[in-house]
Structure 1
Amino acid sequence: MQETKLWINGQWEQAQRTYELTSPYSGEVLAKVAKANSQDVERAIEGAHQAFQTFKKTTAYERAEMLYKVVDIMRKRKQELAEILAKEAAKPISAGVAELDRTIATYQFSAEAAKQSTGETVPMDAAPGITDRIGYTKRIPLGVVSAITPFNFPFNLVAHKLGPAFAVGNTVVLKPATQTPLSAIVMAEIFKEAGLPDGCLQIVTGSGGELSDTLVAHPHVKKVTFTGSGAVGLKLKEKVGLRKITLELGSNAAVIVEPSAPIEKIVSRAVSGAFGFAGQVCISLQRIYVHASIYDEFVRQFVMETKKLRVGDPLDTNTDVSAMIHPNEVGRMQAWIAEAKIQGAVIATGAEFTERTLSPTVVTNVTAQMKIVCEETFAPIVSIVSYETLAEAIALVNESELGLNAGIYTNVLTDAMYAADELEAGAVMINDIPTFRVDHMPYGGVKMSGYGKEGVKYAIEEMTNLKFITIKTTF
């Protein structure tokens, strides 16, 4: 059985405690994982602070070349890395390969961005009486970044922390999700091989509840970047003080389907958005609002397409949907679905449970107050709702306290632009599902969905300070 260690100052270190990592799909024990304590985290942060003193002086060229080497190594090891995802996260192997492709792109974008972190000249003579000054800005790395990452995209969401941070000369202390530490740990090997100096990446595995205070409050930490639940994000925000913070939190993403849109060209895409990785995606399609004139036909086609999905072993290339991350999550959804049925919801297909899986589930006759509609399910379940007018559909989407991504399908340009303006979300996808994301676009929500932006260029802005410099050209 694999036994992991902590990655501190470029060395593997034994922890005093361990915990058992089990497969979400089979329940078998995969590894004994090192469980850090607050003293381990303090040493990691102090080591990262020391490494920063040198790393911040490296050239953009050197940092870019190191990140390009990470890209090359990951390309060669892609299948192996996808198998790690299948085992520790129950991510179907095809979806794991897709995540690795995106991860590689994220590091490549970061390598390119390392050479493009620029400031601007400021026309000082635009102010009255100023004739002898030059002004310009530049971006300065912050120092130690604490990165706390979730289980659902354990390679790519780690890349969205590490890539931009290293591109501009920051160092990082990484605390991966307890269920997916192996994908983070292997990155220590990859960055070491790529030439990242010792101490620039520290990896501490263990309980977020035990370690988060130190990760957030240590005086050497200059930035916290967190992807996870809203409840935890709010607690971190309260503790962070004047330090910079980025919070990527929850969503219950919705799409509107107008009658001008061709159903047959939408359904398969919408099904993939609803049930990819068992719906355990921040921007998984959870709510579909369909115009009354096409509602029945849309539901018929959507249910038919959903029934084609295969639930099974994540290592099987034919599997579309595998286990949820933990049996407790299956139990939560059993309770939510049972409650919705009592309130009048109708199961169009799915809602078949094992201890570890939930079959892809389509629900109709729902109301906005049901948990499966108004809260984030993070499960393979989607609700389809009829509406009469576009304004009504937009109001239904906006009822949520969450607002990460939203989408609309329509062939009427004015309706598309109206929805783009009125939908309360960090991003609006026209003629696509809200699950769409590429890794250089700005990504971040409004309302209770988050604070700050990711996407490599935008993350770099959040991970640097803007310094202004002026030169008086005459004495």
Structure 2
Amino acid sequence: MERRHRLWLDGSWTESRDVREIRAPYTGRRAARADQADASQMRRALAAAAGAFPRLRALSRHARSRLLAAMAAGLQARRAELVEMMALEAGKPVALADVEVSRAAATFTAAAEEAKRYGGEVIPIDIDPSGRAFAPAVSYWAPRGPLLAITPFNFPLNLAAHKVAPALAVGAPVLLKPAPQAPGPATLLAQVFESALRSGDAQEPIPAAALQVLNCPNDVASLAVTDPKIATLSFTGSAAVGWRLQGQAVGKKVALELGGNAAVIVHRDADLPRAAARCAAGGFAYAGQVCISVQRILVHEDVSARFCRLLLRETARLGVGDPFDARTTVGPLIDPAAADRVLSWIAEAKIRGARVVTGGTRKGNVIAPTVLTRVRPDMKVVCEEIFGPVVVLESYSDFGLALEAVNASRYGLQAGVFTDSARLIAEAVSRLEVGAVLVNEVPAYRADVMPYGGVKASGLGREGVRYAMEDYSERRTVVTWRG
């Protein structure tokens, strides 16, 4: 039976007059239908979130932690459904979708633990004569208020978890707008939340509007972006949209996790077979539709030819095609327009002198893993985020110049460096303009508990449960005169 993703609005499943089709990226067939909230439904959701805030922030840490732990268990219990839905709606290979379920459950588990210990600090203020009459000050974190969370299609479950779990941990209600291409996992997350409510503590009932999930058109979402009831906006998606939303969200705390064109430097002393294997996986998994996917590989000229051969060998080993095949690593692009754009960028690079070493072909929305050489810095495949299964290979002679090439990007999310030289590692960490440097690893790696985010056009703020909790909170300080 075809699925219909209704709105989870103020504790009830609600339908709308506008119901849109969800198409499977691999087959092009209709996968589901999704109700789209209208302006009046969005206003109801905003009022419900504002009403839930005083009750949610007043809950004990025990109650919030228990809710989050129940949601982690609920995700594990519905693993098969979630994997199937991600493969169907987002085209994510089932092996990668299974990993995403595990990561999302771990994100909620981490939030359940952080909710218990997220506190503040005691600050001695009697450090000069004017402070002798005062007790030590207490500074603690208090939730800012309702959160508007806008998430993309590529990690439709875990990126929702990275906004929902920290917000619930601090006591901030969440209004979640999932990506229109793959709203199903967010709908299942709302069902998991609903089940967790029923199994909660009768002494401390969780307000049903602590989490609401509304699919909606962009003009309806804009109502929430500008509404004063929303205290914080957390957006993951393209740089163009993210920075535009920041301009609209006047008076709100804004956290942006945006794009990148992540680079890897492979020095001549690197473990080349491992570097090649990791670059192939990091560049082509899920068809490169990851904001920290490997896009640029800078290899020392002494080992560039050997590295290229190794990379091509590893690339040829990757399974390509049907996301429901457990052997597949490289599935389809999300829709025909995305595939058209990626191929047009490849064609543009070829016209300007780039060489396609492998790939560049298309079957439906599936583009074969593509490696380009002889590229130029101003080609789109180099300087923009391709968000597809394409990597470019460049060589360098001087490590410092390689660092400058990485920094020439307007993005700064993560970068990887393969070398055993402590001096070069220290230089890279000091000079690279990115949110994280991965040593002897590709930038596509992310641990869900670490601070994650970028600089420059790649965004503002940090995700990772503890760090998102800080973004969704504000410091409140208590100073007491003791006479």
- Quick check: 1:307–1:349 contact (8 Å CA) kept in 2? no
- Counterpart selection for 1:355 from 360, 364, 370: 364
How big is the shift at 1:128?
3.2
CA distance in 2, matches of 1:227, 1:240: 15
CA distance in 1, matches of 2:308, 2:145: 52
Match for 1:53: what amino acid? P
Aligned to 2:443: 434
- Counterpart selection for 2:456 from 435, 447, 462: 447
- Secondary structure of 1:290's counterpart equals strand
Of 378-387 and 45-54, the range deviating more from structure 2: 45-54
- Secondary structure of 1:320's counterpart equals strand
Aligned to 2:86: 85
CA distance in 2, matches of 1:373, 1:130: 57
How big is the shift at 1:320?
1.6
CA distance in 2, matches of 1:77, 1:17: 28
Aligned to 1:164: 166
CA distance in 1, matches of 2:274, 2:56: 50
Aligned to 2:215: 205
How big is the shift at 1:263?
0.5
- Secondary structure of 1:433's counterpart equals coil
How big is the shift at 1:355?
2.8
- Secondary structure of 1:305's counterpart equals helix
Aligned to 1:329: 338
- Quick check: 1:443–1:455 contact (8 Å CA) kept in 2? yes
How big is the shift at 1:197?
2.9
How big is the shift at 1:393?
0.5
Q: How big is each residue's C-alpha offset from its partner over 1:168-198, in whole Å with a ceiling of 9 and x where there is no partner?
A: 1110100000011110001111011112531
Structure 1 residue ranges, 4+ long, deviating more than 3 angstroms after superposition: none
Alignment of 1:365 with 2:367, yes or no, is no
CA distance in 2, matches of 1:445, 1:50: 34
- Secondary structure of 1:21's counterpart equals strand
Aligned to 1:246: 255
Q: What aligned pairs does 1:3-402 form with structure 2 within 5 A after superposition? A: 3-134=4-135, 135-195=137-197, 196-207=206-217, 209-402=218-411
CA distance in 2, matches of 1:308, 1:262: 19
- Quick check: 1:408–1:430 contact (8 Å CA) kept in 2? yes
CA distance in 1, matches of 2:59, 2:125: 31
Q: How big is each residue's C-alpha offset from its partner over 1:384-414, in whole Å with a ceiling of 9 and x where there is no partner?
A: 1000010010011011000000110101101
How big is the shift at 1:38?
2.1
How big is the shift at 1:262?
1.5
> Can you give the 5+ residue segments of structure 1 that lack an aligned partner in the other structure?
none
CA distance in 2, matches of 1:137, 1:383: 49
- Quick check: 1:42–1:218 contact (8 Å CA) kept in 2? no
CA distance in 1, matches of 2:49, 2:292: 33
- Quick check: 2:104–2:158 contact (8 Å CA) kept in 1? yes
- The number of residues matched between the two structures is 473
Match for 2:110: what amino acid? F
- Quick check: 2:83–2:98 contact (8 Å CA) kept in 1? yes
- Secondary structure of 1:184's counterpart equals helix
CA distance in 2, matches of 1:468, 1:432: 41
How big is the shift at 1:354?
2.0
How big is the shift at 1:3?
2.1
Of 412-421 and 78-87, the range deviating more from structure 2: 78-87
How big is the shift at 1:255?
0.6
Match for 1:217: what amino acid? T
CA distance in 1, matches of 2:167, 2:315: 40
CA distance in 2, matches of 1:128, 1:250: 51
Of 168-177 and 37-46, the range deviating more from structure 2: 37-46
How big is the shift at 1:310?
2.0
CA distance in 2, matches of 1:143, 1:435: 32
- Counterpart selection for 1:472 from 472, 478, 481: 481
How big is the shift at 1:364?
0.7
How big is the shift at 1:79?
2.2
CA distance in 2, matches of 1:127, 1:109: 40
How big is the shift at 1:201?
0.8
- Quick check: 2:26–2:364 contact (8 Å CA) kept in 1? no
Match for 1:169: what amino acid? G
- Secondary structure of 2:310's counterpart equals helix
When the two chains are superposed, the root-mean-square deviation of aligned CA atoms in Å is 0.9
- Quick check: 1:37–1:210 contact (8 Å CA) kept in 2? no
How big is the shift at 1:319?
1.3
CA distance in 2, matches of 1:321, 1:124: 58
Q: How big is each residue's C-alpha offset from its partner over 1:410-443, in whole Å with a ceiling of 9 and x where there is no partner?
A: 0110110001100110111111101110011011
CA distance in 2, matches of 1:422, 1:301: 29
Aligned to 2:203: none
- Quick check: 2:75–2:189 contact (8 Å CA) kept in 1? no
- Quick check: 1:20–1:31 contact (8 Å CA) kept in 2? yes
CA distance in 2, matches of 1:127, 1:280: 56
How big is the shift at 1:270?
1.2
CA distance in 2, matches of 1:168, 1:298: 47
- Secondary structure of 1:56's counterpart equals helix
- Quick check: 2:55–2:207 contact (8 Å CA) kept in 1? no
- Secondary structure of 1:471's counterpart equals coil
- Quick check: 1:173–1:202 contact (8 Å CA) kept in 2? yes
Q: How big is each residue's C-alpha offset from its partner over 1:439-474, in whole Å with a ceiling of 9 and x where there is no partner?
A: 110111000000111111110110011001011112
- Secondary structure of 1:120's counterpart equals strand
Q: How big is each residue's C-alpha offset from its partner over 1:192-243, in whole Å with a ceiling of 9 and x where there is no partner?
A: 1112531111111022x22232121111100000000111111111111121
CA distance in 2, matches of 1:355, 1:74: 32
- Secondary structure of 2:309's counterpart equals helix
